[in-house]
Amino acid sequence: MNKNDLISSVADSSGLSKADAGRAVDAVFDSIASALKGGGDVRIVGFGTFAVAHRAATTGRNPRTGEAIQIAASKQPKFKAGAPLKDAVNS
């Protein structure tokens, strides 16, 4: 499923127009991104938790030359599925 499929599914199940469903889906994604950017978590009961993981700086290797390179520290978005979502996928 891609974003357009998600918007169509939301429109069909909620009775919204595709334009309104598209704005709603975009608003949800923007809200999650904004909360993560601010350093917070987003917990959706029955679905899962979005959080930010901090990755430390490391030394890696260039696979072509074997030269050591520095990999900068970064923040990575993470998602942990909740139990009801896991059960829905596994049943």
83/66 same-domain check = yes
pTM beyond 0.85: the answer is no
29/71 same-domain check = no
What is the pLDDT at residue 26? 97
Domain around 24: 1-38
- CATH, residue 50: 4.10.520.10
User: Over the stretch 68-85, which tens digit does the pLDDT of each residue have?
Assistant: 999 999 999 999 999 999
Q: Determine contact, residues 79/88, Cβ cutoff 8 Å.
A: no
| Total of domains in the chain | 2
Q: Kindly provide the residue ranges of all beta strands, DSSP E only, lying in 3-91, ordered along the sequence.
A: 42-44, 48-55, 58-61, 68-71, 74-81
77/58 same-domain check = yes
61/89 same-domain check = yes
50/89 same-domain check = yes
User: Over the stretch 3-54, which tens digit does the pLDDT of each residue have?
Assistant: 999 999 999 999 999 999 999 999 999 999 999 999 899 999 999 999 999 9
45/16 same-domain check = no
